[in-house]
Structure 1
Amino acid sequence: MPHPFDAAIFIGRFQPPHSGHLAMVQHALDAAKRVIIVLGSAFQSRTPKNPFTWQERRDMLLAALPEADRARVQCIAMRDFYDDARWVQAVRNGVDGLLAQQANADAAARVALVGHFKDASSAYLAQFPNWELLNYPRQGGTDATVVREACFATPQYATTAELDRLQSILLEHVPAAVAQWLLQWRQDPNFVQLQQEWHMLKSYHQSWASAPYPPMFITVDALVQCQGHVLLVERGQMPGKGLYALPGGYLEPRDTLWQSCLRELREETSLDISDDTWRQALRTSRVFDHPDRSLRGRTVTHVFHFDLGYGALPKVLGADDAKAALWVPISELGDMPERFFDDHFFILDGMLQLTHEVPSKVLR
């Protein structure tokens, strides 16, 4: 039976791939000669919302497909940019690059975008007018959030009854191959840390659950560069324990943004520099306010960018919430997005124009 399209695009986070995803992939396979799956939220640190790497999600997806279908599926790993226009362009570039590799590249490829308008998070489907949208109904009531919650809510040292219940929930929502992978994943050290962070965030959100409106948090961060290096801290507490971040914190009730920024800098890095020096070193400030930039809740941060020039790197020492403070060469930042907390890598990318950016990667 001939396929009406040359390629069908399916975009998602697949955290993890569930039965609804696989049903949508089947729709795509029915509609096109081949399917390109865009794995979003790639190249970043693990979180309870995005616990799986792009490699793990690719492997789970392919393991759940019949062997004959795998040959018709290609995957692209795609970063989040916290910038919709930039993300859309990166997706287009990645897909166009794959399409151009085909033997019939001279002919205009007939491309479909497979998806479902679930909620506001599905607005991206309208951002690709050159691809014909195949808006299929939602495939059952499966949601990846339910799967993640079940995994994290089950104790690490679960009883047989608790494991049986978890396995029953998994098999209700994900293919058998994915369920088996998830059960084995519970023994991974990454799972243990993510489960602890999940409990911490759950308790954190419950502390303000009775508020009339979800709170919005204001934070400050300092981007300090000197002699081709950037000042980072290693977080000493959850969430993001062990990850790199810009020095910063919450705005204090009686502080200005400027005062909070300098206070957090001194507290977390022990950097002893006068206020006048900071004023002279200030280059710019920017606001980062993407709704999904932090799992703690809606958090708007004000980033102050300082340049201390080309003198000797000042001595720093991690203190307060920071386990360590360190100077990292700017030339190395582009190769370490998975080491950063929240969107701090993207802040650095946006303000320093990193040159080693890897926006997407063809996986297969």
Structure 2
Amino acid sequence: MHDTAILIGRFEPVHNGHLALLRHALAHAGQVIVIMGSAWQARSPKNPFTWTEREAMLRSALPEADRARMTVLPVRDYYNEARWVAAVRAAVQQHCAAGARIGLVGHFKDATSSYLRSFPGWDLMSVERQGSIDATAIRDAYFGAGPHDVAAALAPLADQMPASTLAFLQAFAGQPHYPALQEEWRMLRGYRASWAAAPYPPVFVTVDAVLRCQNHVLLIRRGQAPGRGQLAVPGGFIEQRETVWQSCLRELLEETHVQLPESRMRSALRAVTVFDHPDRSQRGRTITHAHYFDLEGDAFPPVQADDDAAEVQWVPVERIGELEEAFFEDHFHMLDHFLDITPRMGG
């Protein structure tokens, strides 16, 4: 018997496989802590629900007595395993007594389960996978439904979900978020289909420009899917005859009309960092080279939205944290890397 059992997941949405793991945790520990991953992400086909919506789904599927023994803690993705592990440990530590015996509940499904090896000192409470259902199949059925066919689309999978999840999904389909997520899901599906016949899955190379001036950062609002309407730093795909440096300057110019001499951009360059987490983009394996520039006390260069940008704006650095849920993919974490927006917890 453990003092505390930890269950880590995204629960997008909650299904019977999640509940089997949760019931195992409840049966073998007095306290259960659920680490709710992908917290504070902008809505997307992979992360369609807020962490509070997912917590409500979990609680609705449990008897009242079990709800009282469960604590749900939201944790960011970070796209950096060392930072994520440190954040999980720090969150758990605040809710456990010193010397508590802690168990980590899970099973090795695929490469995404490697995190189970990242917590030495916690006992692995291994549980066999319950059935073959996963959340991806549910999301694909859900977003592939016709305007009035949500119930019919989910019917073949209904016995794999608690009734509370089905009720939530049907109610959510009446919200404005749902058709927007469907549109994005269809776009991403078509995007991946366009290279499905390639002999190997492609690896895309992109560039991003983090441009700082007078303690403001230049941000765009994306004008097209994926991420239509979400905040991002200027950037895009590298072209065949360009270096990453040339691509970065071109994308910055095309999307924001920032026109500064190349010599000034070179003197303002503070760092170039590669962001290559396998899950950073839903379009496929995408590696970006983020260039961090600081113009310090220069006058703000004139800007104008163009190309893929619907809007461009200078945003004070101190406001970035409050906008976290509005950012496309890992762009908030890119800014966090350069600007130290969230607290560092070691790692």
Same fold? TM cut 0.5: yes
Provide the aligned C-alpha RMSD in A.
1.3
Q: Name the structure 1 match of 2:230.
A: 243
Where in structure 2 are the equivalents of 1:199-348 lying within 5 Å?
199-348=186-335
The yes-or-no answer on 1:90 pairing with 2:77 is no
Is the aligned partner of 1:140 residue 2:131? yes
Letter matched to residue 139 of structure 1: Q
Paired residue secondary structure (1:331): helix
TM-score (norm 2): 0.97
Shift of 1:255: 1.1
The correspondence for 2:42, drawn from 24, 41, 45, is: 45
Q: Which residue of 2 aligns with 1:353?
A: 340
**Pairing 1:67–2:58 present:** no
Q: CA deviation at 1:357?
A: 4.7
Quick check: 2:77–2:84 contact (8 Å CA) kept in 1?
yes
Q: CA deviation at 1:277?
A: 1.4
Distance 1:122 1:66 in 2: 28
> How far apart in 2 are the matches of 1:136 and 1:269?
51
Distance 1:251 1:59 in 2: 42
Query: Equivalent residue for 1:102?
Result: none
Gap regions ≥5 residues in structure 1 = 100-104, 360-364
Identity %: 51
The yes-or-no answer on 1:31 pairing with 2:28 is: yes
Match 1:123 to one of 114, 119, 126: 114
Match of 1:76 among 73, 76, 83: 73
Tell me the equivalent position of 2:12.
15
> Does structure 1 retain, via aligned residues, the 8 Å contact 2:219–2:234?
yes
Contact kept, 8 Å, 2:142 with 2:154, in 1: the verdict is: no
Cα separation, 2, equivalents of 1:307 and 1:89: 29
Q: Is the 8 A contact 2:244 2:289 kept in 1?
A: yes
**TM-superposed deviation, 1:140:** 1.4
Counterpart CA distance in 1 for 2:151 and 2:123 is 43
Distance 2:344 2:157 in 1: 34
One-letter code aligned to 2:238: L
Counterpart residue number, 2:164:
177
CA contact (8 A) 2:138 2:154 kept: no
When residues 343 and 70 of structure 1 are mapped into structure 2, their CA distance, relative to the original with a 3 A threshold, is same
Q: What is the alpha-carbon distance in structure 2 between the residues aligned to residue 139 and residue 126 of structure 1?
A: 21
CA distance in 2, matches of 1:114, 1:232: 40
What is the one-letter code of the residue matched to 2:123?
Answer: E
Kindly indicate whether the alpha-carbon contact (under 8 Å) linking 2:17 and 2:131 is maintained by their aligned counterparts in 1.
Answer: yes
Distance 2:151 2:126 in 1: 36
CA distance in 1, matches of 2:185, 2:154: 20
- Greater alpha carbon shift after TM alignment, 237-246 vs 277-286: 277-286
Instruction: Report the residue type matching 2:182 in the other structure.
Output: Q
Whether the 8 Å contact between 1:226 and 1:313 is mirrored in structure 2 is: yes
Deviation at 1:157, TM superposition (A): 3.2
Report how many aligned residue pairs link the two structures. Answer: 345
- Partner secondary structure for residue 322 of structure 2: coil
Per the TM alignment, residue 139 of structure 1 is displaced from its structure 2 partner at its CA by 1.1
Aligned to 1:157: 148
For the 8 Å contact 1:42–1:79, the answer to whether it is kept is yes
One-letter amino acid of the counterpart of residue 117, structure 2: A
Q: Is the 8 A contact 2:218 2:315 kept in 1?
A: yes
Q: Classify the secondary structure of the residue corresponding to 1:338.
A: helix
Counterparts of 2:67 and 2:19, CA distance in 1:
12
Say which SS state the counterpart of residue 263 (structure 2) adopts.
helix
What is the TM-score when the length of structure 1 is the normalising length?
A: 0.92
Please give the alpha-carbon distance, in whole angstroms, between the structure 1 residues aligned to 2:135 and 2:63.
21
* 5+ long unaligned stretches in structure 2: none
Q: 1:362 maps to which residue?
A: none
Per-residue CA deviations over 1:76-121 (Å, capped at 9, x if unaligned) read: 001001111111111000001111xxxxx35x21111110111110
Tell me the CA shift for residue 164 of structure 1. Answer: 4.5
In 2, Cα distance between the equivalents of 1:141 and 1:248?
39
